[in-house]
Structure 1
Amino acid sequence: MHSIIYQISNQPISKEEHIGVDHIEAGDMTSLDYAYESSEEERKENIRCLVEHILPKEMFSLNEDGETIVYQSGFAEWRKSYLDTIHTRMADINEENIMKWVGPAYQLQKAILNPLCTDALFVTDFSNGYGLAERSRELMTIIGNLEIGDKLYVGAVFGYHF
């Protein structure tokens, strides 16, 4: 299966700071067989997809440059909904299914590490061309500190196979 890796920061990312396709490590609960470059056109389309389909609806808008994402609002509402999801997943766990291979405990773990429920991975911690591709929790932690009008900057965008 294929998906996308996004390098994202709340600070501008220069071309020199873009991670390299061969310098991406897989984070917790990620499977990364290989990553591959995408064309500039695919990159722009993947950024648009991030705003319109992966991030919570109407929380962000795409800046005119097609690369910068502007926070609109909505994190508090999303966080409440996310907490409801966590409570529901916790309530599903009992003595009989706690050790089940892909049971409710595993579903809870996935919900905690990947609150956006997406196959996309996010590199929010990077330096010297290297980065760690993780599920969406770290990205949502960054978003939780944004104020209306703050921006997220997209660096490298790669496809990957898992």
Structure 2
Amino acid sequence: MYQDNYLNEGTLTQGDDSFFDYCAEIDDKERKHHIGVLVNHILPEGMFELVSEDVIRYIGGADKWQADFVAGMRSKAEAVTPDKVLEWIGPVYQLEKYLKNPLDTAYWFYTDEEGCRSYAEQSYEFMREVCELEPGTLLYIGGVIDYHF
């Protein structure tokens, strides 16, 4: 592992041309806690297992997640009606939020095998990449950063 290349508080940006206004490294105890929350409560149940404090294994389940995602998207889209299309935090906003962040989490994901991506993404991009993995693929966890935007 190349810990010098881990995401850290000095390298984190959002993917929409905006910056987090606060980033800080967290201690090891809090880091372990957040990785546990990610694997056991945020990521779809049964799709991942914690292998070590820095590694998770993709077990499988992309087909089920994709079906659930499409069902959720359809449900959100059905709530969009002509009389609600202009509501400030109405169904259009809820659909847009769901499309970017179907796991409905405050966690952001930075995945980059090639060293070319310089920003974090919400959960849709992470799950899109997961759906292309083979079961048994190991994912190495780099930096876990506290942030505010």
With the length of structure 2 as denominator, give the TM-score of the two structures.
0.89
Question: Which of the pair has the greater relative contact order for Cα pairs under 8 Å at 6+ separation?
Answer: 1
Q: Which moved more, 1:79-88 or 1:23-32?
A: 23-32
Tell me the equivalent position of 1:24: 12
Identify if the C-alpha distance between structure 1 residues 24 and 68 changes in structure 2 by more than 3 Å, giving closer, same or farther: same
Find 2:84's aligned residue among 90, 97, 118.
97
SS in 1 for 2:141: strand
Tell me the equivalent position of 1:10: none
For 1:29 and 1:110, how far apart are their aligned partners in 2? 17
Instruction: Report the residue type matching 2:50 in the other structure.
Output: L
Contact 2:102 2:123 survives alignment (8 Å): yes
For 1:113 and 1:31, how far apart are their aligned partners in 2? 17
Q: Which moved more, 1:21-30 or 1:69-78?
A: 21-30
Amino-acid identity (%): 34
- Tell me if 1:108 matches 2:92: no
Tell me the equivalent position of 1:6: none
Unaligned runs of 5+ in 2: none
CA drift of 1:136 comes to 0.5
- Tell me if 1:46 matches 2:34: yes
Identify if the C-alpha distance between structure 1 residues 29 and 134 changes in structure 2 by more than 3 Å, giving closer, same or farther: farther
Name whichever structure is richer in strand by fraction.
1
With the length of structure 1 as denominator, give the TM-score of the two structures.
0.82
Unaligned runs of 5+ in 1: 1-12
RMSD over aligned Cα atoms? 2.1
For 2:108 and 2:36, how far apart are their aligned partners in 1? 15
For 2:22 and 2:83, how far apart are their aligned partners in 1? 38
Mapping 1:147-158, distance limit 5 Å = 147-158=134-145
CA drift of 1:30 comes to 8.0
SS in 2 for 1:25: coil
SS in 2 for 1:36: strand
